[in-house]
Each structure stands twice: as C-alpha cells, then as structure tokens.
Amino acid sequence: MRASAVRFLLSFLLGGCACSGICAAPADASSYPPVQIEMHNVHLHLAEGIMLDVPRLRGEMISRKDNQPPVFGDAKSYTLHVFAAEASMTTASLTSLLNDYLFSYDGAPLKDLKVETKGHQLKLSGKLKKGFEVPFSVVSDVSVSPDGRLLLHSQKIKAVGLPAKGMMDLFDLELDELVSLEKAHGVTAKDNDLLLDPGRILPPPVMQGHLASVRVEGDRIIQTFASDKGGNRLSGAPKGNYIFFRGGVIRLGKLTMSDADLALVDADPADPFDFYPEKYATQLVAGYSKSTVSGGLRTYMPDFDQTGGKGKARPRVAKQPATKGASRAE
C-alpha cells in the first residue's frame, strides 16, 4: 500500500475521535506541550552507518519551531530531553560518526579515523593534518567529566609510530592547540584530553540529559543517563520492542495526532526493533495498524533491515493480517 493510502486510512479511522487521534492541528496554537516518549529494545539508525542501540529510554520531545508540534521523521524539528536511558554504540558506528559526520567538513584536521577498544579503554587512530599528514594513535581512559560530558583522558599518544609527548614539547604544543575543532560541534580539546557532549556529537535530534556513567564493554561504549524524573514506564505502553509517544501533539507527514497515543511496535520481537526514523514510511507501508477503543494507534512494523529499503517486508517478518495495511480495533 502506498504511503498516501496509509495516511488516508489512518485519517479515516481516527478522524472522528474528538482529536484524540489524527486530526487537523489547531490553527491558532502558539505553543505545544511536550510529547512523552519511551523506547524499549530499539536499534536506532541515526544516519547511514551510524546506529545507536537503546535498551531503554524515557524522555520528552520539545518542538524547536514556533507554532509547530514535533514532526515525526524530521529530527531537526524537536529536542529530545532524556530523563533516563541506557544507550550504546559499537566502535564501527563510532568510526562512521567521526569520519562521515563530525569530521566530514572541508579542512577537517583529522581524517581516516578508526575507533577500537583495548580492554576498558578506547583507541583512536588516524591522520592529523597540520600542513602535512601525521599518522597518530591515542589510547584513552573513558569517564564522565564534572560537567557531565564524555571525557577521553589520554594515556598513550603516538605520532608516526613514536611517543608524541616529546614532539609536542619540541613544538611547544598541546593537543588542543594542535587540533582546531571549531567546526566539530560537541567536541572540545583540553590539554591532552578530549571532551565530547553526547547530545551534540550525534546527528539530530539534539539530545539533552544528565550523563551519569559510561563504560566500555567488548566493542561497545555504553552510556547511562539518569535524572530525578521520568523513570517510570508510560501508562499504556505496549509489550515487546517499541517506540511509544504519549500526550501532547505530534505530526506524521501531513497528519497530526493530538493527545498522542501512538506506538510503533516491532512485528518480530525475537530481536531488537531495527528502526530508521528518516525512512519510517518504508516500514510503515510494509506493516499494519490497529486502532484502540480510546482513539490510539498501534502500528506494527517489520525491522528496517527486513524491508530491503523498498517498503516490502521480507519473509522473516512476523505474521500479519491477510491484507497489508489493514487496521482493526484493539
């Protein structure tokens, strides 16, 4: 079923629910309340090659635009306030994040970067451009700074295969002077350490939250966020793997859901919910939906990696109704 047909179907099913479902946004609205969000066991595609695994998350979406609610599928339209969460990223995703996102601009001082783990430490290697290219590697301890940023405290620094401390003494340079990071948002060098703001180094949405702890396990770096609110499960959250929106107003394409009660549910809960926000329509078209008696919506989707990126589910997806795109009351 084409995306336009799916939108028509959702509008038809929920349009008469006194705006507890999908309906027109109020024309004179000047502000919108936050939309509560909860994730459970989600494999989140932030960009090509950059994935974030989210076993759990509680937070809220705040619109970044006047007179417009958060727009699902437009990560730049809102800020995600994280109350409580655990999230991890593999070294492969970190490598893509550095090369294809943070340092992808013209004149970037670092290139050909690679992230590896060494026990409970991180090793960053690559080439430093300072008039000429210098191969380097840095092995760092990982911790949380007093101001809540990710701190990479350098323990071993080598350049051109030699310890770099003597080289820096020779040129009277520290790492923060050697590497200009003005365009690498969220990354700051101080003496021989790097500080990373976890909410700014990732592709949109902008995320805000208190980073409580960080650790390295296997080929992953795992971050835990905590606060004094938002630890409880949202009322009405489904079972299995899901992304759940509750309260406030959220926009989906040309349609708007107020007093949101929307769950995106993994159709195959045997493994994490592989979800790509920018390409959610592909999964939507390949899935099916059920409306609830209270005007909510439960949309069951195949994993993104099972759609082939073409809106067509592959055989491994869990059983669905006979007519794809069909909806029924829950």
Give me 198's structure tokens: 């976890």
- Is the residue at 215 inside a domain? no
Clarify whether residues 108 and 83 are in a common domain: no
> How many domains does the structure of the chain reveal?
2
Closest CA to 38 of 225, 206, 233, 223: 233
- Is the residue at 136 inside a domain? yes
* Integer Cα distance of 82 and 291 in angstroms: 28
Cβ within 8 Å of residue 88, ≥6 positions away = 52, 53, 55, 220, 221, 222, 223
CB atoms inside a 10 Å sphere around CB 130: 12
Clarify whether residues 110 and 187 are in a common domain: yes
Q: Residue 263: its pLDDT value, please?
A: 95
* In contact, 224 and 231? CB cutoff 8 Å: no
Q: Residue 34: its pLDDT value, please?
A: 93
Clarify whether residues 190 and 250 are in a common domain: no
Clarify whether residues 11 and 24 are in a common domain: yes
- Is the residue at 217 inside a domain? no
Q: Residue 318: its pLDDT value, please?
A: 40
Clarify whether residues 321 and 279 are in a common domain: yes
CB atoms inside a 10 Å sphere around CB 160: 11
- Is the residue at 221 inside a domain? no
Taking 70 as the pLDDT cut, the residues of the chain under it are 1-30, 130, 161-185, 199, 230-231, 309-330
- Cα 222 to Cα 24, 182, 206: the distances in Å are 41, 26, 19
Clarify whether residues 322 and 231 are in a common domain: yes
Element holding 124 (H helix, E strand): strand 121-129
Structural domain boundaries enclosing 185: 91-197
Q: How many CA atoms lie within 13 A of 241 on its CB side?
A: 20
Clarify whether residues 83 and 133 are in a common domain: no
> Would the pTM count as exceeding 0.85?
no
- Is the residue at 214 inside a domain? no
- Looking at 182, 197, 212, the residue that finishes a domain is 197
- Is the residue at 220 inside a domain? no
- Is the residue at 202 inside a domain? no
- Is the residue at 205 inside a domain? no
Clarify whether residues 55 and 119 are in a common domain: no
Q: Residue 85: its pLDDT value, please?
A: 95
Clarify whether residues 107 and 54 are in a common domain: no
Clarify whether residues 158 and 233 are in a common domain: no
Q: Residue 309: its pLDDT value, please?
A: 60
